[in-house]
Structure 1
Amino acid sequence: MNDDKIETKVEEIAQRYETDYEIGQQNINPLGLDLHNPVFVVSSLLILVFVVGSLIFPEQANEALGATRVWIGDTFDWLFLSAGNLFVLFCLALIVLPVGSIRIGGADATPDYSVLSWFAMLFAAGMGIGLMFWSVAEPVAYFTEWFGTPLNIEGGTEEAKAAALGATMYHWGLHPWAIYAVVGLSLAFFAYNKGLPLTIRSTFYPLLGDRVWGPFGHVIDTLAVLATMFGLATSLGLGAQQAAGGLEFLFGIDGGLNTQIAIIVVVTVIALISVIRGIDGGVKVLSNINLSMALLLLIFVMIAGAFVAFLSNIGTTVSAYAQYMLPLSNPVGREDDTFYHGWTIFFWAWWISWSPFVGMFIARISRGRTVRQFVTAVLLVPTVVTIIWMSAFGGSGIDQASAGIGALADGISDSSLALFQMLENLPFTAITSFLAIVLVLIFFVTSSDSGSLVIDSITSGGKTDSPQSQRIFWATIEGLVAGVLLAVGGVAALQALQAGAVSTGLPFVVVLLLMCVSLAIGLHHERILLKFAPDKAA
C-alpha cells in the first residue's frame, strides 16, 4: 500500500467515527427523568404491561412463559450453543492477536481502580448470586440424577462425579465470561477510544454509522433493557429463594412466597441507597466486603470439608472440564434432552440476557486496561476462581451425597437449600450458614445496584450522570419484576424465572453475534490508526 492509499485509508477511518450525536443533550421532564429518546418510554411501558398483565392473569402468564421457554429451547438450541462456542474462540483470538495491545481509553489512559477492586466488582456483578445458589445444587443434581444428567451418564458413580463437576464448570467457566467479555470490551472500546455514548447501540457504529441514533439503535437498546431486566429478575428471584430457604433452615422462619417478597423489598431499599451513593460509594464498597466474606467461607469449606479431598476434587474438576467441554459443546445428535434443554440452554440464555448489564458495568470500571489485559482478566481469572469454588462447594456436596451423609444423600429436595444442607455436615453450621445468607443478600444488593446504573445509562442514551430519580425508578422496577415472576410461578417459581431469562435471551443472541463483527472492524481500524497516524487514534 503506497503513501497516498495509506493517507486515504487513514482519513476514511478517522471520518467514519465522526458523529453529530450530542451526548450531552438533555430533556428532563417534570418527574426528573431523562426522556431524550424513545428507549426509556418504550422499555418502561413493555415492562409495566408485563407486570400488570401477569398480576391480572397469573395462570395464563405462567403457561405462556413455560410454553415460550420450551419452544425456544427446542427450536433454537443449536443457535445458543453455537454462539457460545464462537464467543469463546473470538475472545481467545483477541488475546493472541496484535489488537490485544490496544489500550482502552488511549495510550495514556490509566486504570481508575486497583486490580483487586476491579476484580471484586467484576466478579460480584458477574455471577455472585448464581454461584451461591448453584455451587452445591447443580453438581449434586447431576450426580443424583435429579433433573437429567450430562450425556446421560448414570448417576452415583465415579464417572458421574467427574461428569457433574465438568458439566458444572462448562456452564460457569469460559463460555459465560466470553459473552460478558464481548459486550464489555465493545462498550469500553467505542465509548473510551471513539468517544461514543456508553450504550449498546454505540457498539454497532462501524456497521450502521449515524443510523445507530435512529430506529435501529432504539430497537437495539430496548432489547438490551428488556434482556437485562429479566436476566436480573431471574438472579434476584433465585437470591430471594435461597435467602428465604436459609432463614427457614437456620431460624425456622417460613421460607415461602411472603418471606421471599419481603426479602426482595428490603434488599431493594438497600440497593436504592447504594444506587444513590454511586459506584465508588456503593458497589465498590459492597463488592470489596463481599469478596472478603466469600474468601473466608471458601477457605473454611476447603479446610473443613477435608483439604486432601478438596485438592483431589480440583484435579477432577479440571480434567473433567477439559474432557467434557467438546462433547457438551456439540449441538448435533444430542440424546440428553432433559439436561441439554433444562440446564445448558437455560444457562446460555441467562448469561446472554445478563450480558448488557454485566458488560456495561465491566466497561465502566475498565478504562486504562489493554484489550489483552481486559480479555484475560474477564475470561481466564474468573474461570480459575470458579474452578476452585466449585471444587470446594460442589465437590463437598457430591462427597456427602456419595457417602450417604446428611440430606444430600437423598438427592436434591429443594435447590435453594442445597448449600445449607452441605454446610450442616461441617463444623460451625450456624455461623457459616448465617455468613452464606449475608453473602447472598449482599450479592443481591450489588446485582440490583449495578443493574440499575446500567439500565439507567442505556435508557438515557449513554449518560453516566443521569437524574437520580431515574436510577431509583429502575432499581424499584427490578425488584417489582422479580417479585412478580416469583408470584406468578407459585410453586414453580424457579421455572417462571428461567422462562423469563430464556425468552429475552433469544433476540439478544443475534445482537451479540453482530457485535463481534462490529468490534473486530473497530479494533482493526484502531490498529491502522495507531500504526500510520497515532495522532488520530484515541
Structure 2
Amino acid sequence: MVKSVMNPRVFWGASLIVGLLLAVAVAAPGASDRVFQAAQGWVIGAFGWFYVAAVAGFLFVVLGLAFSSTGRLKLGPDDSEPDFPYASWLAMLFAAGMGIGLMYFAVAEPVQHYAAPPEAAPGTFAAAREAMVITFVHWGVHAWAVYAVVGLSLAFFAHRKGLPLTLRSGLYPLLGRRIHGPIGDAVDIFAIWGTLFGIATSLGLGVAQINSGLAYLVGLPSNPAVQVGLIVVVMGAAMVSVLTGLDRGVRRLSELNLALAVCLMAFVLAVGPTGFLLKALVQNFGLYLDHFFVRTFNLYAYEPRGWMANWTLFYWAWWIAWSPFVGMFIARISRGRTVREFVVGVLLVPTGFTFLWMTVFGNTAISLDMGGAAGAISQAVTSDLSTALFRFFEFLPGAAITSTLAVLLVAVFFVTSADSGSLVIDTIASGGAEETPRWQRVYWCSLEGGAAALLLLAGGLGALQAATLVAALPFALIMIVLCVGLVRQMNADVKGVAVGREAPALRVRLAQILSPPRKAEIERQIAEEGAPALRDVGAALEAEGLPGLHVAFAEDEARLDVGPTGGEAAGRFVYRLTPEARPLPAYSHLEAPDGRRTREWRLIARVEPRGLRRDVTGLSRRQLVNDVLEQLADWRGAGPGPR
C-alpha cells in the first residue's frame, strides 16, 4: 500500500485545477493568451494604484515589526536556535528568490531601460543613470518586502504558535478554527497553483537561456523540442535533489549556486571597467536612496505612459504572485531567528548582493554598448532576451569559459527553483507536514517540469504568465489580511512577555523577595490564575476538533493532559501546577526569633515528557497561557505528539 501524508482536498483539488488550466493553455494557446493578456491589462490599468500602495505598505509593515519591540520575538520558542548557519540560510533564500531572474535580466533589463527610458533621452548618460536606478527599484527591498510578509507570517504562526506550515495559518488571528475548513483549503489551493505556474514560467525562461548558451557554445539547435529535452535532464537532477531533502540537497546546491555566481561576477568585475564599476555602484546606490520615495509611489498619474504598466506594475504583480513560494520556503528555513534578524536578513543581504550583481553586469553592458559594441548588445536584447547575456560575454575575454559557467549557473538555479518549489508545494498540500513520502515530492516536481514542457510546446507561457499576474490581485488582499493578523498577534505576544518573565513589575518582584509567598497565596494563584489558564488552553484545543487528539483537564490538581487518542502515557504532554515549599536561606532577616527557619512557597509547573520544572510564581492567567502554548509547541515539534 502506498503511504501518503496529505490534505486530500488540497492535494487533489490543486492537482485538478492545474490540470484544467494546462488543458486550456495547450488546447487553445492563442485564445487563452488573448484572454489572459486582456485580463492582465485591465487589472494593471484599473488596480495599478493598489499594487503600488500595497507594496509600499508591506515594506513599512515589516520594517515596523523589525525595529519596534516585536523585533526581539523569536520565530519559535524563546530558547530555540536557528536550524541553519547564517551563510547557508542566506544562500538558500537568495537562490530560491531570484536566481533565474538575475541571470536572465542582469544584462537585459538595464540595457532595455538605457535604450528606451521612461523620461531621459535614449542612449545618453542620463538614460544610463536612470536605467540603473529603475533596475535597483525593481529588484530591491520592495520585492523582498513582499516575500518577507508571507515568510514572516508563516514562520511566526508555524514555529512559534505550533500551527501547520501552510498559508492558512496566517489567517488564524482573524478566522480562528475556520482556517481548517473550506476557506483555508481554498487559500492553500490558490497558493499551490500560483506557485506551480510561477515556477513553470520561470523554468521556461531558464531553459530558453540554457538553450541559447548551448547554441552559442556547441551549436545545439534552439527550438522547443530541444528545450523540452533540457527540461527532462535538469528536472531529473532536481528530483535527485528533492529526494535528499532540505538540509542536504537544497542547502548544498544553494551554496554551490552562490559560489558560482560570486566567481562569475568577480571575473566580470576584474576584466571589465573595474574602477568605473566601483564608482557606479556607490553612485547607483545614492541615486536609489535619493529616488526611493518618488519611485515607491510614482504612478505617472499626471502624464500617463504605458511604460509603468509594462515594467513597475508588472514587477509588483509578479513578486506578489511569487510570494507564496518564496515566502513559504524562507519560513521553513528560518526557525529560531528573531523577527529583527529575519527582516534584516531577508531585506538587506540579498538586496545588497543584487545591487552589486546588477551594477557589475548592467553597467558593464551599457559601457560596452556605448563603446566597442556600438549598439550590438542593445540589438541582441531587442531581438532575443535569452541571448543577451552570451552576446555580452563576446565583448569580454574568455567568452567560451564565461558562457559555460553561465549555462551551468542557470542550470543549477533551475534545479534549486524546482526542488525548493516542490518541497514548498508538498508542505502546503500535506497540511504543513515537513516529512512526507518521497512519491509526493516527485509528483510535484514532475508536475512542474511537465507544465513547463507542455507550455513550451504549445507556446502558452505568455498566457500562463499573464494568468499568474492576474491572480496576484486577490492574493494581495490576502497578504493585507496576513499583515493585520501578524501585527495583532505579535503585539499581544510582546505585551505578555513584557509583563511576564522578561520584565516583571518592580513592585511584584520586591514583594516576592521581601515577603515570600505563603501556601495559601500559591493555592489562591492556582485557583484564580493557573486553573483558568489551563482550562482556556484545553477548551481551545477541544474547539479546534483536531483529529486523533485527546485533551483532558483536571481542575482539582490544575493539570492539562494532551496526546494522541489511545497513545501511551509516556509520550503525552502533561502540564501540572503544584505548590512547593522550600526553606529560606540561613540568617535571613525573615528568620523567626526562636531560631526556627521560615519556609516560602512557590508555584511550580512540571512539564512532561521533557521532565521540565519551571518556577511560575506570580505569573498572570495570560502569561501562564503563553507559557503553556510555548511548551506545547516544543512538545509538538520534538516529541511524539500529533503531526
RCO higher in 1 or 2 (8 Å CA, sep ≥ 6)? 1
Find runs of 4+ consecutive structure 1 residues off by over 6 angstroms.
none
Equivalent positions of 1:37-76 (< 5 A) are 37-76=8-47
Q: Any conservation in 1 of the 2:73–2:338 contact (CA below 8 Å)?
A: yes
Moved more, 225-234 or 392-401: 225-234
- State the match for 1:226 in structure 2: 193
Shift of 1:322: 2.2
Equivalent positions of 1:74-89 (< 5 A) are 74-89=45-60
Secondary structure of 1:523 counterpart: helix
Inter-CA distance 246–302: structure 2 relative to 1 (3 Å threshold) = same
Which of 408, 420, 426 is 2:377 aligned to?
A: 408
| Sequence identity percentage | 44
- State the match for 2:154 in structure 1: 187
Which of 209, 217, 225 is 1:242 aligned to?
A: 209
- State the match for 2:442 in structure 1: 472
Which of 324, 329, 332 is 1:364 aligned to?
A: 332
Structure 2: which amino acid aligns with 1:307? T
Moved more, 359-368 or 432-441: 359-368
Q: Any conservation in 1 of the 2:82–2:337 contact (CA below 8 Å)?
A: yes
Shift of 1:404: 4.8
CA distance in 2 between counterparts of 1:528 and 1:328 reads 36
Shift of 1:483: 2.3
CA distance in 1 between counterparts of 2:120 and 2:102 reads 24
Inter-CA distance 134–409: structure 2 relative to 1 (3 Å threshold) = closer
- State the match for 1:302 in structure 2: 269
Shift of 1:35: 4.3
CA distance in 1 between counterparts of 2:394 and 2:128 reads 21
Equivalent positions of 1:448-527 (< 5 A) are 448-489=418-459, 493=461, 495-496=462-463, 498-527=465-494
CA distance in 1 between counterparts of 2:313 and 2:457 reads 24
Q: Which has the larger radius of gyration?
A: 2
Q: For structure 2, which runs of at least 5 residues remain unmatched after alignment?
A: 502-623, 631-643
Q: TM-score, normalised by structure 2?
A: 0.76
- State the match for 1:127 in structure 2: 98
Shift of 1:336: 5.6
CA distance in 1 between counterparts of 2:464 and 2:305 reads 20
Which of 140, 164, 169 is 1:202 aligned to?
A: 169
| RMSD, matched Cα | 1.7
CA distance in 2 between counterparts of 1:33 and 1:335 reads 56
Q: Any conservation in 2 of the 1:101–1:370 contact (CA below 8 Å)?
A: yes
Structure 1: which amino acid aligns with 2:223? G
- State the match for 1:271 in structure 2: 238
What number of residue pairs does the alignment pair up? 502
CA distance in 1 between counterparts of 2:302 and 2:443 reads 44
Structure 1: which amino acid aligns with 2:429? T
Shift of 1:281: 1.9
Q: Any conservation in 2 of the 1:236–1:444 contact (CA below 8 Å)?
A: yes
Structure 2: which amino acid aligns with 1:410? Q
Inter-CA distance 251–469: structure 2 relative to 1 (3 Å threshold) = same
Shift of 1:77: 1.2
Inter-CA distance 46–90: structure 2 relative to 1 (3 Å threshold) = same
CA distance in 1 between counterparts of 2:181 and 2:30 reads 38
CA distance in 2 between counterparts of 1:383 and 1:466 reads 33
Which of 381, 386, 392 is 2:360 aligned to?
A: 392
Moved more, 340-349 or 293-302: 340-349
Secondary structure of 2:222 counterpart: coil
Inter-CA distance 99–226: structure 2 relative to 1 (3 Å threshold) = same
Shift of 1:418: 1.2
Structure 2: which amino acid aligns with 1:462? G
Structure 2: which amino acid aligns with 1:337? R
Considering fraction of residues, name the structure with more strand: 2
CA distance in 1 between counterparts of 2:314 and 2:237 reads 29
CA distance in 1 between counterparts of 2:291 and 2:222 reads 37
Moved more, 252-261 or 41-50: 252-261
CA distance in 2 between counterparts of 1:156 and 1:414 reads 19
- State the match for 1:168 in structure 2: 135
CA distance in 1 between counterparts of 2:106 and 2:53 reads 25
Secondary structure of 1:120 counterpart: helix
Q: Any conservation in 2 of the 1:153–1:159 contact (CA below 8 Å)?
A: yes
Which of 73, 80, 85 is 1:102 aligned to?
A: 73
CA distance in 2 between counterparts of 1:110 and 1:33 reads 30
CA distance in 2 between counterparts of 1:168 and 1:240 reads 23
Q: Any conservation in 2 of the 1:403–1:409 contact (CA below 8 Å)?
A: no
Q: Any conservation in 2 of the 1:230–1:353 contact (CA below 8 Å)?
A: no
Shift of 1:497: 5.1
Q: Deviations over 1:353-402 (max 9, x none)?
A: 11111111111111111100000000011111111111001111111112
Secondary structure of 1:368 counterpart: coil
CA distance in 1 between counterparts of 2:306 and 2:455 reads 23
Shift of 1:502: 0.8
Considering fraction of residues, name the structure with more helix: 1
Structure 2: which amino acid aligns with 1:434? T
Moved more, 48-57 or 383-392: 48-57
- State the match for 1:383 in structure 2: 351
Q: For structure 1, which runs of at least 5 residues remain unmatched after alignment?
A: 1-29
Inter-CA distance 422–279: structure 2 relative to 1 (3 Å threshold) = same
Structure 1: which amino acid aligns with 2:351? T
Inter-CA distance 432–411: structure 2 relative to 1 (3 Å threshold) = closer
Which of 233, 244, 250 is 1:283 aligned to?
A: 250
Inter-CA distance 351–524: structure 2 relative to 1 (3 Å threshold) = same
Q: TM-score, normalised by structure 1?
A: 0.90
Find out whether 1:446 has 2:420 as its counterpart. no
CA distance in 1 between counterparts of 2:405 and 2:477 reads 40
Shift of 1:430: 0.4
